[in-house]
Structure 1
Amino acid sequence: MRNSSRTTTLESRFPLLAVENNCIISKEGDITLCFLVLLPELFTVGADVYEAIHSSWNKAVKTLPDFSIVHKQDWYLKESYSPDLEKEEHSFLSRSYQQHFNERPFLNHYCYLFLTKTTRERMRMQSNFSSLCKGNLIPKEIKDKEGMRHFVEAVSQFQRIINDSGYVKMHQLNEDAILGGEHDSGILAQYFSLDRRNNVPLQDMALGAEELRIGNKRMVLHTLSDTDDLPVTVSESKRYDRLSTDRSDCMLSFSAPVGLMLSCDHIYNQYLFIDNSTENLKKFEKSARNMHSLARYSRANQINKEWIERYLNEAHSHGSPSIRAHFNVFAWSEDREELKQLKNDVGSSLALMECKPRHNTIDAATLFWAGIPGNAGDFPAEESYYTFIEPALCFFTEETNYQNSLSPFGIKLADRLTGKPIHVDISDLPMKKGIITNRNKFILGPSGSGKSFFTNHMVRQYYEQGTHVLLVDTGNSYQGLCELIRGKTKGEDGVYFTYTEDNPIAFNPFYTDDGIFDIEKKESIKTLILTLWKRDDEAPKRSEEVALSNAVSGYIERIKSSNEYPCFNGFYDYVKGDYKKIIEQKEVREKDFDLANFLNVLEPYYRGGEYDYLLNSEKQMDLLTKRFIVFEIDAIKDHKVLFPVVTIIIMETFINKMRRLKGIRKMILIEEAWKAIAKEGMAEYLKYLFKTVRKFFGEAVVVTQEVDDIIHSPIVRESIINNSDCKILLDQRKYANKFDEIQNMLGLTEREKSQILSINQDNDPSRLYKEVWIGLGGTHSAVYATEVSTQEYLAYTTEESEKMEVMNLAHEMGGDVEGAIKKISLKRIKGLESKDN
């Protein structure tokens, strides 16, 4: 007797029989293979890539046999960011960052593909024959086992074609992913609960014309199931005006409006029904003849005949298989009022695709039932329309949200659409994958573009992950961060060198913590003294180099064998005394080494001289062991004596780290100071650094804000840009008229140009952030948001009034910069909360 009750159990109507060999088998004998699909990230690909992806889908679908169903199911779920605040390695700023984003809402995306082999009868089944309407489901035997084997082989080819495209990846789901394991719920349980959380209990379901409900979640359904509802033309991609300019186009897939751009809980189902094309075309031929014979009775018949003829002509002239397609959007909410808004939102999104929104209530239940993974064979045929593969594929969504890098090393940025924190590796993983061949970075951003914020944010995270960071600055951009590190490490780290009249910059090139003077250290000292002794245009003689080398080695031997405090004064005394005697004993001629001239030229740096403080620092500090060092050289960048010496010390300090710190990551970041360094004959150091640093697990970073510097400087062009595989650009709207020159200089593609010119075009006014473009090796690029917490803002700020507020309060609190930042940030947060109320 037929079950006539309005209530039944899921078990009695469940259309699936088993999962075997990672395949879903339905009670009607259909077999389905399930895949997780990884799509390109939003805003990262151009029209050419969308066209390539579309072509790959087209080739793959054509490999499937007749009576196959392609069911692509995209889930878009509103989730909240949940940081791990219990990690012990979180620093004060890192914890502040995580708390700032705690419970930040975002739309997450999951994409599945179900490939089903069914029968001719099932492909033509109407909604009243759905398994949902049957009283009893008797499992059927799979008769065409050979056909099933061919189908599995075809699916393997399908997967290979998609994966070979390089843009989309398909991974087959195993039984645990389908049915659920000990700790994870499978895709079936997720579908019946509309929830991807683990161990969510199944709830009662109401599937009817009046209401579509699972638990407290009520659904609305919009369908594209009739050619009258479709746009006149379709394409692989479409211009996204909000991030486009008159010089560039930001592209999204044609169906993006019902994908990530629709910010609500929803599922977008895309179906392609691979029918027997020959049978379909014969049916259309017969229909065209009938329409022709009835044309004199109705003009509509004549028009229909013409449309059928056009369809047949397209099929025969291009060899396009005739298929059926259907697309629908399920959106849901627990709030009835919100559900009304969702109905309008989904309709508006479909209208953006130039489709006619159709709110479907008649077949909503059967369409939901057909959407069960592995149950596409239950799809009601009357809800589909005839088309070809290529136009149907235009309705596939082809992008996903930003994904975290798999590498443990990286920096935290934010998704530009939703503001969710993203872990991005721009150094190690790209090197392993061969995307880049060095870790060097070139950063370009005009004043006010957020350049200092990004660089502060980057170097802070590098430092916290064990990197030795050396910064050369000309504007106190890193003072706050350096003071914070110094306070946290109780003076053991966070070294800030700057020049003032009261506290001039001072070093001691002869001091080492471990008393080891290796070849690199000796060469460093020799280079420094040679710079003091000789002019830039005056090359030393071979005999002078040997004499200087012997003098340095002799003084180092004296240091090792006595308790004498090493410094430049000691070296000068040694040369004037003991070394002079050695020279005389060896009868070294004056023309080979003029000792008097040597002492006379170096006298200003000796005790009582004008610059006696420069190389005789009494602070016992070996920069080799310091992990965060800032050289602020704004006050001396034009000084003809101090600047070359300081530059030598900076470069030698990093080269010493580079060669001696084996297996330890190190970074040198040179702000606008690179212009001064290049002028003073130090270009060779820059060239050497950018070409060599990659061999020592290091990276060199140059930051600039002047476009003309890149366009006209051969050092930047030949040494820096050519040896920087990672390019980072901030808002370039100030340089819009010059951007073609920048594009040519940096070797940017049109897609990369479009991404860069979209920066800050459509920022969310409810969030405070600046966007940044990161390009890797000319092949991978994306725009991210640099959004930080109030505490990080106060540590990074270059606004003098804010910086002075922090420093003055820290001085009152005994130098506690962290405490000052906490106090000011708490005050600001309370002020914002009261303002909102």
Structure 2
Amino acid sequence: MSNVMKADTLERRFPLLAFEHGCIVSKDADITVAFEVALPEIFTVTAEEYEAVHSSWVKAIKVLPEHSVVCKQDWFTKETYRADYGKDGFLSRSYERHFNERPYLNHRCYLFLTKTTRERNRGKSDFSTLCRSRILPKEITDKETAAHFIEAVEQFERIVNDSGRVSLRRLGRDEIVGTAERRGIIERYLSLAGESGTVVLEDIRLDPAMMRVGNKHVCMYTMSSADVLPGTVGTDMKYGRMSTDRSDCRLSFAAPVGLLLSCNHVYSQYVFIDDARDTLQAMERTSRNLLSLSRYSRANAVNREWTEMFLDEAHTKGFMPVRCHCNVMAWAEDEAELRTAGNDTAGQIAQMGCTPRHNTVDCPTLFWTGIPGNAADFPAEESFHTFLEQAVCLFTAETNYRSSPSPFGIRLSDRRSGVPVHVDISDEPMRRGITTNRNKFVLGPSGSGKSFFTNHLVRNYYEQGAHVLLVDTGNSYQGLCGLINARTRGEDGIYVTYREDDPISFNPFYTDTGEFDVEKRESIKTLILTLWKREDEPPRRSEEVALSGAVNAYIRRITENPQTGDFNGFYEFVRDEYRNIIKEKNVREKDFDIDGFLNVLEPFYRGGDYDFLLNSDKGLDLSSRRFVVFELDNISNNKVLLPVVTLVIMETFVAKMRRLKGVRKMILIEECWKALMSANMSGYILYLFKTVRKYFGEAVVVTQEVDDIISSPIVKEAIINNSDCKILLDQRKYLNKFSQIQQLLGLSDKEKDQILSINQANRPGAPYREVWIGLGGTNSAVYATEVSDEEYLVYTTEETEKAELMRLAGELGGDIEQAVRRLAAQRREAK
């Protein structure tokens, strides 16, 4: 049976003619310039910033000439995350597999600026190119008007880009028309397809009651009259799910039909710039007519009153009258899914305070008008008069989180959809001038996900070539260190801790190269000085000189006659040879009491209580190892061991700083405040935080107690003031103290609101914690720290889970990776 439906080819009806000189030219001689718009990331914009974005749009639109059309088109398409299995590392691949095929709503925003004529701007739906039997291309005769429009477009672009929050990028031919390998936006629109894949143009059924594009069913909801809008509109609104009684999360007024609408849809916003004088004169005539008819109908009197109010606003406040229209076009694969999408769309429009209107009359015409470059074909009866300021309030003003273009960074998750986002919190902020150093301060109470975040951070840094040195007091990094040790066959992943049967042991006189530079010599002097003098007992100048002479003389001895030195050898050298040297120099006992010196150091000499500490025979130079963990939990209360161990730690990192040129270095200090309180250690901390940036390094301090950062002047002055990156986790436990934290850390009200929104609206069924990252006091956002089952087992601090992992690894001959694989598989089966 032959097809009796009215059908035509797309070629015959297609309204566009060419792409020339960077412009789309329609067959009716309309000129369109296309841009891609970069909007701010969602949940990162304040009410004041929304006002600034709104103001920049208004200023930019005012420079366009009469009979111009502004069409802002936001594409929201369902896509799935594609894993990158080419990444190195067992945990990186498990991370990618965990997120593979996770659905999310992709957002692309485009802007089309069109110059048309007065007649075309007032055309009705029955004059659309869709209704013509033939379209005869017209010639652009007024070249001066076209040139003036292009100049105005350049001014428009400059004004928006100068706003600092929104940026425009002009689209080229390939992005609009497409290539053999890539879809253009025109192809995408006519097929309602995503960005990737091959375009197959399908039949389009332009039936107002049931429109279809291929196998996609389409519905359209319009805001085409002032009656469907609320009494007042604004630039932004409060998002209740992430707000508290002490904080405020803001979204744009049109956000409910943007990212908050989870179905496939295109949100189109039109602003028509007519001759303002003609518009106001027409309204004056309408007002007079309504006045004469008001005696016959109360409605005429009310309408006349509204018209007069509009005219008064235009004349007294200088508002620019425009016409406006917005529509949401949603689509789905079947009718049942389309009903759900339609209901969701109507519900989100109602969230804006608008009355949802399912348009089953002009749906095909509005679809045709939405073709990029065809905005001049808009049916005038579907628009309504308003002022420019109110029309721009209907623009969406936020987008998804964007990945950093930097090759270095960490993998976090978008808090809205949960897909991975590449975030650089070290290098890119430095290049852009947002921060002046890479140091980080991390604050999070117990159970907030702090250890998961720091494990994830150091693991990402290590896998990208960084040297990482960790100081811990809770075995938080035992799993990660053990995994690295097993994968490198003991060459890396060094875990240094104190046990009775295997106590911590160092050799301050050992180096891989056998050379002792200035920093190495100074660190040895500081170490011995710490053993010799109490914190409240400063050394005299003569004692410092004598100690320096002893250290240098011993180093000369072991380098001139190649041998391995240790503390026992140094003690014996001072007792025997150096005693004779100072006698020859006539050094008085009151200037340097050598016997008192030896007596104090005797516990660290052979046979003493701590003879194990500084006489290691392992010959291990930690400055060459890329992942080292010092676990101080067992000696955190030992007044003798703790200062010595912390000084060795700092000396190890300083050696890395000095020797490893062009290599990224990180020292992360966890809960070890007692070690930081000593005078010698505080001097190292202050030195580190001020100079580490010069050696391509960063220092990170992690704490969970508010009192620690408030009571410690070392932390307050040396760490907080020299950490341009601040990282906070869930602060609900400290809600009553947060004003004090805000003042101490110098947080703005915007940053406070973001921090207090953490974990307020987490996605159900997804085990993750959110983290706030602030950079330089200007850039900040909340991300999700979600990891795979394998990463969870490596990062976990739960004692029972750690014990089970180590037990299984022991059964497998110490193969931690295989143990992690088995336990992760069991966890997935249980889910």
Deviations 1:17-44 (A, max 9, x none): 1001110000000000000000000000
Matched, 1:35 2:45: no
In structure 1, the partner of 2:774 is 775
In structure 2, the partner of 1:237 is 236
Q: How far 1:524 moved relative to its partner?
A: 1.1
In structure 1, the partner of 2:66 is 66
In structure 2, the partner of 1:687 is 686
Contact 1:435 1:777 in 2 (8 A): yes
Q: How far 1:499 moved relative to its partner?
A: 1.2
Matched, 1:130 2:128: yes
Letter in 2 for 1:58: V
In structure 2, the partner of 1:115 is 113
Letter in 1 for 2:15: P
Q: How far 1:598 moved relative to its partner?
A: 2.1
Deviations 1:351-404 (A, max 9, x none): 000110000111100100000000001000000000000011110000000000
Matched, 1:446 2:478: no
Q: What is the alpha-carbon distance in structure 2 between the residues aligned to residue 545 and residue 679 of structure 1?
A: 19
In structure 2, the partner of 1:304 is 303
Letter in 1 for 2:286: S
Q: What is the alpha-carbon distance in structure 1 between the residues aligned to residue 716 and residue 455 of structure 2?
A: 25
In structure 2, the partner of 1:346 is 345
Tell me whether 9-18 or 531-540 shows the greater mean CA deviation.
531-540
Q: How far 1:557 moved relative to its partner?
A: 2.5
Deviations 1:144-177 (A, max 9, x none): 2111111111111111111111000001011111
In structure 2, the partner of 1:104 is 102
In structure 2, the partner of 1:79 is 79
Q: What is the alpha-carbon distance in structure 2 between the residues aligned to residue 711 and residue 541 of structure 1?
A: 33
In structure 2, the partner of 1:639 is 638
Q: Residue 19 of structure 2 aligns to a residue in which SS? A: strand
Contact 1:407 1:425 in 2 (8 A): yes
Letter in 1 for 2:188: Q
- Give RMSD over aligned pairs: 1.3
| 2:139 pairs with one of 141, 147, 150 | 141
Letter in 1 for 2:475: N
In structure 2, the partner of 1:193 is 191
Question: Which stretches in structure 1 are left out of the alignment for 5+ residues?
Answer: 833-837
In structure 2, the partner of 1:249 is 248
Q: Residue 197 of structure 1 aligns to a residue in which SS? A: coil
In structure 1, the partner of 2:54 is 54
Tell me whether 137-146 or 204-213 shows the greater mean CA deviation.
204-213
In structure 1, the partner of 2:176 is 178
**What is the correspondence of 1:328-407 to structure 2 with a 5 Å cutoff?**
328-407=327-406
Q: Residue 33 of structure 1 aligns to a residue in which SS? A: strand
In structure 1, the partner of 2:148 is 150
**What is the correspondence of 1:388-537 to structure 2 with a 5 Å cutoff?**
388-537=387-536
**What is the correspondence of 1:537-576 to structure 2 with a 5 Å cutoff?**
537-576=536-575
Q: Residue 628 of structure 2 aligns to a residue in which SS? A: strand
Contact 2:646 2:675 in 1 (8 A): no
* Count of residues in correspondence between the two structures: 827
Letter in 2 for 1:50: Y
Contact 2:643 2:678 in 1 (8 A): no
Matched, 1:288 2:287: yes
Q: How far 1:572 moved relative to its partner?
A: 1.7
Letter in 1 for 2:314: A
In structure 2, the partner of 1:835 is none
Deviations 1:474-524 (A, max 9, x none): 111111111111111111111111112111111111111122211111111
In structure 2, the partner of 1:13 is 13
Q: What is the alpha-carbon distance in structure 2 between the residues aligned to residue 704 and residue 792 of structure 1?
A: 22
Q: What is the alpha-carbon distance in structure 2 between the residues aligned to residue 703 and residue 648 of structure 1?
A: 19
Q: How far 1:680 moved relative to its partner?
A: 5.7
Contact 1:674 1:702 in 2 (8 A): no
Q: How far 1:563 moved relative to its partner?
A: 4.4
Tell me whether 581-590 or 803-812 shows the greater mean CA deviation.
581-590
Q: How far 1:601 moved relative to its partner?
A: 1.6
Q: What is the alpha-carbon distance in structure 1 between the residues aligned to residue 373 and residue 769 of structure 2?
A: 44
Q: How far 1:303 moved relative to its partner?
A: 0.9
Matched, 1:606 2:605: yes
Question: Which stretches in structure 2 are left out of the alignment for 5+ residues?
Answer: none
Contact 1:644 1:680 in 2 (8 A): no
Q: What is the alpha-carbon distance in structure 1 between the residues aligned to residue 368 and residue 71 of structure 2?
A: 13
Letter in 2 for 1:533: W
Q: Residue 324 of structure 2 aligns to a residue in which SS? A: strand
In structure 1, the partner of 2:783 is 784
Q: What is the alpha-carbon distance in structure 2 between the residues aligned to residue 521 and residue 685 of structure 1?
A: 14
Letter in 2 for 1:830: E
Tell me whether 28-37 or 512-521 shows the greater mean CA deviation.
512-521
Q: How far 1:706 moved relative to its partner?
A: 1.1
Q: What is the alpha-carbon distance in structure 2 between the residues aligned to residue 64 and residue 674 of structure 1?
A: 62
**What is the correspondence of 1:703-718 to structure 2 with a 5 Å cutoff?**
703-718=702-717
Q: What is the alpha-carbon distance in structure 2 between the residues aligned to residue 821 and residue 640 of structure 1?
A: 38
Structure 2 length-normalised TM: 0.98
In structure 1, the partner of 2:748 is 749
Contact 1:482 1:495 in 2 (8 A): yes
Q: What is the alpha-carbon distance in structure 1 between the residues aligned to residue 513 and residue 267 of structure 2?
A: 65
Deviations 1:679-737 (A, max 9, x none): 56522222221111111111111111111222333222222111111111111111111
Tell me whether 583-592 or 527-536 shows the greater mean CA deviation.
583-592
Q: How far 1:5 moved relative to its partner?
A: 6.9
Q: What is the alpha-carbon distance in structure 2 between the residues aligned to residue 108 and residue 325 of structure 1?
A: 26
Q: What is the alpha-carbon distance in structure 2 between the residues aligned to residue 306 and residue 63 of structure 1?
A: 31
Q: How far 1:599 moved relative to its partner?
A: 1.8
Letter in 2 for 1:93: L
Letter in 2 for 1:229: V
Contact 2:636 2:674 in 1 (8 A): no
Tell me whether 366-375 or 692-701 shows the greater mean CA deviation.
692-701
Q: How far 1:675 moved relative to its partner?
A: 4.3
Q: How far 1:741 moved relative to its partner?
A: 1.0
Tell me whether 646-655 or 39-48 shows the greater mean CA deviation.
646-655
In structure 2, the partner of 1:617 is 616
Q: What is the alpha-carbon distance in structure 2 between the residues aligned to residue 205 and residue 766 of structure 1?
A: 39
Q: What is the alpha-carbon distance in structure 1 between the residues aligned to residue 297 and residue 829 of structure 2?
A: 74
Matched, 1:798 2:797: yes
Q: Residue 116 of structure 1 aligns to a residue in which SS? A: strand
Tell me whether 231-240 or 644-653 shows the greater mean CA deviation.
644-653
Contact 1:268 1:328 in 2 (8 A): yes
Letter in 2 for 1:8: D
Letter in 2 for 1:625: S
Q: Residue 260 of structure 1 aligns to a residue in which SS? A: coil
Q: 1:679 to 1:600 in 2, by over 3 A?
A: closer
Q: How far 1:553 moved relative to its partner?
A: 2.2
Q: What is the alpha-carbon distance in structure 2 between the residues aligned to residue 535 and residue 86 of structure 1?
A: 55
Contact 1:34 1:112 in 2 (8 A): yes
Q: What is the alpha-carbon distance in structure 2 between the residues aligned to residue 456 and residue 5 of structure 1?
A: 64
In structure 2, the partner of 1:759 is 758
Identity %: 63
Q: What is the alpha-carbon distance in structure 2 between the residues aligned to residue 801 and residue 755 of structure 1?
A: 34
Q: Residue 32 of structure 1 aligns to a residue in which SS? A: strand
Q: Residue 310 of structure 1 aligns to a residue in which SS? A: helix
Q: What is the alpha-carbon distance in structure 2 between the residues aligned to residue 366 and residue 399 of structure 1?
A: 28
Contact 1:473 1:673 in 2 (8 A): yes
Contact 2:471 2:669 in 1 (8 A): yes
Contact 2:730 2:759 in 1 (8 A): yes
Q: Residue 248 of structure 1 aligns to a residue in which SS? A: coil
Deviations 1:72-105 (A, max 9, x none): 0000011111021023xx2111111011001111
Q: Residue 296 of structure 1 aligns to a residue in which SS? A: coil
Tell me whether 691-700 or 681-690 shows the greater mean CA deviation.
681-690
Q: Residue 608 of structure 2 aligns to a residue in which SS? A: coil
